Amino acid sequence: MIEHGSRLAERQNGCTPLAPEALNDACGRTAAGERIEQLTVNAWPGLREFVHDGWLIRLSDGFTKRANSVQPLWSGAGADGDIREKIGYCEEIYRNAGLTALFKITPFAAPANLDRLLHAYGYDRIEPSSVRTVPLSGLARPASDGIEIERRLSGRWLSLVADWLRYSDEQASAAERIMNAGPDAKAFFTLLHKSEPVACGMGVIEDGYVGLYEIVTRPDCRNRGFGKQLLLHILHWGAGNGAHTGYLQVADSNASAIRLYDKLGFKKVYAYWYRRRGCG
């Protein structure tokens, strides 16, 4: 077993599965998309991870779905008839950890009919989301120089994020371990206004991409343009360190964030969601 050192409640949306070909067409099954999906796994690792017949099983004390779900990366050696047994194996792992089994469904999930199978086995579709990217050439410059950039996770930065996102002590501890375990090419950003912190975020660089994580604005400072300035700072930092493209993940329910990302030029690359048994 590989040991490695994630948010507020997420909403359920519809339960109808897409046919594999419709999923691929609707969600963007591309080589670039598949590579970005791999980067998201690296940037936000599980505290415990191991592979079972091509599926990556991730556990992180229940903190964030992405770090506590099955990532079905490859079909593995088993035949399709063995899939129910394979799902049962995963269910047992999560049950023993005191968690409910979650499966992350992307255009790259294997086998291609897994979403349909999970639906048939009583798994509901929750938190439809998307991965979006933006080229880093031609980006507007940040309007403010009030930014602090730390190459190591500090207690102050984590305290701000945990406070603004209302993390419990246990969640903050899991977040700290996860962020310390990711790729070394990362930085932690604090946007300042009149010398006071107003927004925070993390940038992670790998393979020419900069991923944006833990993006949050202080609750009493929202809708004032601080989020946009923070994102521009992170993206320009990425460009200055060899990245050519920025990416992020966002829930479909987060309309205000999507409007901001649209303004900055982010485009949807592919959709994803989770499957959880009997959540509705």
The predicted structure's pLDDT at residue 124: 97
Are 2 and 49 contacting, i.e. CB atoms less than 8 angstroms apart?
yes
Residue 247: name the closest of 44, 21, 25, 11 by CA.
44
pLDDT at 122 > cutoff 70: yes
pLDDT at 110 > cutoff 50: yes
> What is the tens place of the pLDDT at every residue in 222-240?
999 999 999 999 999 999 9
Residue type, 43: A
- pLDDT-based confidence at 16, cuts 50/70/90? very low
Residue 58: name the closest of 98, 103, 19 by CA.
103
> What is the tens place of the pLDDT at every residue in 179-212?
999 899 999 999 999 999 999 999 999 999 999 9
As a whole number, mean pLDDT of residues 43-52 equals 96
As a whole number, mean pLDDT of residues 124-153 equals 96
As a whole number, mean pLDDT of residues 96-115 equals 96
> What is the tens place of the pLDDT at every residue in 22-32?
444 445 578 89
Cα separation of 234 and 214, whole Å? Answer: 12
pLDDT at 74 > cutoff 90: no
The predicted structure's pLDDT at residue 5: 27
The predicted structure's pLDDT at residue 77: 61
SS3 letters across 56-90: EEEECCCCCCCCCCEEECCCCCCCHHHHHHHHHHH
The burial of 108, by beta-carbon neighbours within 10 Å (0-12 exposed, 13-18 middle, 19 or more buried), is given as buried
Cα separation of 260 and 251, whole Å? Answer: 13
As a whole number, mean pLDDT of residues 156-165 equals 98
Answer positive or negative: Cα dihedral of 250, 104, 1, 76. Answer: negative
Answer positive or negative: Cα dihedral of 180, 183, 185, 191. Answer: negative
At 158, give phi and psi (nearest 5°).
-60, -40
Residue type, 274: Y
Q: What is the DSSP letter of 12?
A: B
As a whole number, mean pLDDT of residues 247-254 equals 98
What's the chain's Rg over C-alpha atoms?
19
Are 128 and 273 contacting, i.e. CB atoms less than 8 angstroms apart?
yes
The predicted structure's pLDDT at residue 81: 57
Cα separation of 41 and 66, whole Å? Answer: 8
Give percent above pLDDT 90 in the chain. Answer: 82
Are 205 and 185 contacting, i.e. CB atoms less than 8 angstroms apart?
yes
User: Cα separations (Å) of 174 from 46, 63, 67, 156, 255?
Assistant: 9, 7, 10, 16, 27
Q: How many CB atoms lie within 10 A of CB 262?
A: 12
